[in-house]
Amino acid sequence: MNSELLSATILLILVIDPFGNVPLVVSALSSTPAERRIRIVLRECLIAYAVLLVFLVGGHAFLALMHLSETSLSIAGGVILFLIALRMVFSHTEGVFGTPEGTEPFIVPLAIPAIAGPSALATVMLMASRDPGHSGVLALALTGAMTVTTVTLACAGWLQRLLGERVMRAFERLMGLVLTAVAVEMLLGGIKDVASQFRG
């Protein structure tokens, strides 16, 4: 149980990518008064947590309603994860999610898609549909991952100054490499399921 909780938490942290979102947070809040920044980060993380929790709890019902199989979700989630991981490894000037700089953010781009992005939503839905009996463990894993994300993003300005932009980019690329392997594993799992159906 503990290993399952730990592995799920680590996977969600990799998918949400709090360290990779530090430059985005710093950029999005650059024109916001310093005394409001932590409050905004807490609000955006709470919104993202609520959205991810809804998809975690209602993911299985949503798949049934849309007549989607776990195999199709596994392949789609793997493709999305792979694309996000590629943008993490080969960084773009506009950031991982291609979001422009703006004034004080509300929901977009921090809560969605930076934190609760397509890859995170697909991942929690897939985890819930594959193991519906352990929804409590998955909810704890999501809570732990969001706690790490909230603390990291609340300290975004301090981390950027302490480590520097080059170190943050290097760490983001390292997380992207790990996430690439996770994406390939999801894709292979979906392909194996399709192949077994053809054999049967």
Q: Dump pLDDT digits (tens) for 37-84.
A: 999 999 999 999 999 999 999 877 877 788 877 788 778 777 877 877
| Rg of the chain (C-alpha set) | 17
pLDDT at 56: 92
* Both tokens assigned to 151: 């603390």
The HSE-up count of residue 18 (CA atoms within 13 Å, CB side) is: 24
Q: How far apart, in Å, do the first and last CA atoms of the chain sit?
A: 33
Model pLDDT for residues 99-145, shown as the tens digit of each residue = 444 457 788 778 987 899 877 888 898 888 877 788 899 999 999 99
pLDDT of residue 27: 74
Average pLDDT over residues 78-92: 74
Q: What percent of the chain clears pLDDT 70, i.e. is strictly above it?
A: 92
Q: How far apart are CA 159 and CA 26, in angstroms?
A: 10
Q: Indicate if the pLDDT at residue 97 is higher than 50.
A: no
CB count, 10 Å around CB of 196?
Answer: 10
Distances in Å between the alpha carbon of 167 and those of 75, 82, 113? 32, 23, 23
Is residue 116 within 8 A of residue 48, CB to CB? The reply is yes
Which pLDDT score, from 0 to 100, does residue 92 have?
57
| Whole-number Å distance between alpha carbons of 120 and 140 | 15
Structure confidence at residue 20 (pLDDT): 78
Asked whether the beta carbons of 119 and 80 are under 8 A apart, the reply is yes
Mean pLDDT of 19-48: 87
| Domain extent listing, the chain | 2-199
Whether the Cβ atoms of residue 25 and residue 153 lie closer than 8 Å to each other: yes
Whole-angstrom distance, CA of residue 149 vs CA of residue 5: 17
The more confident residue out of 112 and 153 is 153
